[in-house]
Amino acid sequence: MTAPALPAAAAAPPGCRHCGAPLPVDGAPTARFCCAGCAAARATVEGLGLDRFYDRFVSDAALRPLRPDPDAHVDAAAFARDRGDGTATIHLMVDGLHCAACIWLIESVLARDPRVVHARVNMTTRRLVVHWRGAPELADSVLAPVARLGFALAPFDPTCLADAGSEEERRLLRSLAVAGFAAANVMLLSVAVWSGHDTGMGIATRDLMHWVSAAIALPAIAYAGRSYFAGAFRALSAGRTGMDVPIAIGVTLASAMSLFETIRSGPYAYFDSAITLLFFLLIGRYLDHRARGRAREAAGHLLALRVHAVTVKNADGSVERRPADRVRPGATVLVAAGERIGVDGSVTAGRSEIDTALVTGESMPAAAAPGTAVFTGTVNLSAPLTVRVTATGEGTLLSEIVRLMEAAEHGRSRMVALADRVARRYAPVVHVTALATFLAWWLGVGAPWQEALLYAVAVLIITCPCALGLAVPVVQIVASGGLMRRGVLLKSATALERLASADTVVLDKTGTLTLGRPRLLDEPGRDPADLAAAARLAAVSRHPLALALMASIDRPVAAADPVVEHPGKGLSWTGPDGEWRLGSRDFCGVVAAESDTPELFLTRAGRAPVRFAFADTLRADAADTVARLLRAGLRVMLLSGDRAPAVARAAAAAGIGEWRAATDPAAKVAALGELAQAGRRVLMVGDGLNDAPALAAASVSMSPAGAADVSQAAADVVFQGQALAPVAETIDVARAAARRARENLTLAVAYNLCAVPLAALGYVTPLVAAVAMSSSSILVIANALRLARGARR
């Protein structure tokens, strides 16, 4: 494992001496770095080496604030598990992760221990997974180096994932509100000053306007710009530049010059430029932070399906409730009807039906009998079951799906936005240009330093990356607003960009291409009396096929009484004319050819059996949407966990030529991996728990609003309604948004290429620079609004 290169570390928000990131939200003071990861990366880059760094870190007083509170300690051994192959494993949540350097440091320090065979950290969920040779009791000694580096370790709890992020989000929102309020009021005062410039406004009136603007703007700038000022100071202290530096310098000089001019009753004051700049940039930072926070929710929603306690039957026959992660393989667990299963295992006694929709994505319950495998997160529907445990905690299928999601998200998080790449080269050019302008006018031309500083401030203001910073976010805002009015919610800041580049659409079947609800098929010659008779039995059941049968009845029917429900088989009722049965062909004693569609049979004494066939219905516009996607040049595939005949019928009805059946979550991820290796950029559309890893693994993902919570959390886009058309419409909007974003970036760059020389030559005052900077932003916004007009058309 090698240290991360400096550009990778620079992708974090500017601040500390290595990456420029601001201090953690909790305000813990550090002398030089925002985190231990940055301190290690800097030391490695400077040739100190990881071993020497570690020894120095744990004893350096200057780095003491990065080390943990001696009272903060977790008994790691209590949460470690024996893997059964001579190794042990532990899953913990790491608090204090700031950037990629932190991940590299933790993994590198753990890799130094010869006992450790695997150590991985996921930035999104902050989960640390470690495998080592030896007993679980060695956990504390294995993890001791991580604790000494100042990273707080705690049992992995999805409810704690968003705590730190939510506090940062609230801080940004408060700063944004303050900056917006001040910008609106100061701009009104500035408009009055600008208008009075040509209409003979008195000096006293103008000065009053300036003082009022200062009273509003300066406190707001000090509050809203804290992160920029702190980030610029630390970046400059480390000999680096970033986007925060020109912003902080421009805002500070503009504010100081404005205050100086106001004190001496001068004509120029630029409070409006400073506070408006902060307001626009805070919008972009807030949107970016909120988008990153969404990613952390996916695994949290998924892990919420875990059952915290299960009913264990001991060898002596006694029964006790025990935490699911404390149950060992081989134990016997009792699962009541209606209870969510908390372990992976095999049924040893009882017959029931299992709602596996969250795992398989299929709406039909699966029969459970002795020998049937059951999984964590599924629901036992109709009768008690006895289950022998095969896996708990991190060994369950549910946890494996979480790991698949985390691995996929880790790969996708490496994408770097174009604006960030431009900004790394842009900021140093701005600084050098402003400094050269000042020196050229002061030393070269011989102008007074005040005038030279005025021109330098004009360069900083006119080159402040407001338009550049707005180029992409404003398009996202306009596009997401238009899509939201259509019932489409964008959850990721980069979803539009990735949708625009997608060239392959992979659809799930049940709940995505179809509605996910069984529907009774019409059969010629069916006697309505037979349907009414079947409904009398079905009225007492909550089985999906019984509910579908009841939904087809257009008038109320009286339920038979008493009806006996036979779990996994059907319903029976004994009346004056004998026994009636409604259920499977075996239960009803029907001998007929096997069918590949769901079915129920009604048998009554002295009458021929009546068959009721069901099918999952395609969304009404599924075929039209698939045809539209194909016309747009997209490759369309169908992946489903259902049986091959059902998948083949659905694919043919929708006009899809490529399909795969019986694909479990790992197979779906593998299929997407094959497409990615072939150079395809895949849009995955799915709705079930089994689709969640594929949604995370795809280049971009969509999910219907009726999907499982975890699928919605993993998806980049969620769409409302019964139609599939939003998939094609969102791609169209994304492609148009990509064009607008490129146009905006071109406008922003062209503006700077034209404006900077004029400012450096002294043809632009800070006042004109502020107007030009604001105008460039308005131009970018106006171009983005064309997207909304096109969407309405």
* 3-state SS, residue 373: strand
Q: Please report the DSSP string for 484-531 in residue order.
A: HHTTEEE--TTHHHHHHH--EEEE-IIIIIEEEEEEEPP-TT--HHHH
Q: 311: which 2 tokens?
A: 């009913």
Q: 234: part of which helix (H) or strand (E)?
A: helix 226-237
Annotated active-site residue 157? The verdict is no
Residue 554: exposure state from Cβ atoms within 10 A (0-12, 13-18, ≥19): exposed
Q: How many CB atoms lie within 10 A of CB 763?
A: 12
Q: Which residues have C-beta within 8 Å of that of residue 17, sequence separation ≥ 6?
A: 32, 33, 38, 42, 234, 237, 238, 240
Q: 407: part of which helix (H) or strand (E)?
A: helix 397-412
Picking from 618, 614, 651, 615, the residue whose alpha carbon sits closest to that of residue 723 is 618
- Residue 703, beta-bridge partner list: 718
d(CA 354, CA 774): 61
Contact between 304 and 377 under an 8 Å Cβ cutoff? The reply is no
Angle between helices 544-551 and 528-538 (to 10 degrees): 140
Contact between 696 and 409 under an 8 Å Cβ cutoff? The reply is yes
Picking from 715, 703, 710, 691, the residue whose alpha carbon sits closest to that of residue 300 is 710
Number of DSSP helices (H) and strands (E) in the chain, helices first: 27, 27
d(CA 546, CA 536): 10
DSSP 442: I
User: Strand pairing of 717-719 and 488-490?
Assistant: antiparallel
Residue 595: exposure state from Cβ atoms within 10 A (0-12, 13-18, ≥19): exposed
d(CA 477, CA 489): 11
d(CA 596, CA 615): 10
Q: 153: part of which helix (H) or strand (E)?
A: strand 152-155
Q: Which amino acid, one-letter code, is at 528?
A: P
DSSP 444: I
Q: How many CB atoms lie within 10 A of CB 712?
A: 22
d(CA 695, CA 702): 7
Catalytic residue among 508, 616, 687, 716: 508
N-terminal to C-terminal alpha carbon distance within the chain: 53
Q: Provide the Cα torsion 293, 297, 299, 301; round to 10°.
A: 180
Q: 528: which 2 tokens?
A: 């309505």
d(CA 312, CA 318): 8
Residue located via tokens 């932190």: 102
Residues identified as active-site: 508
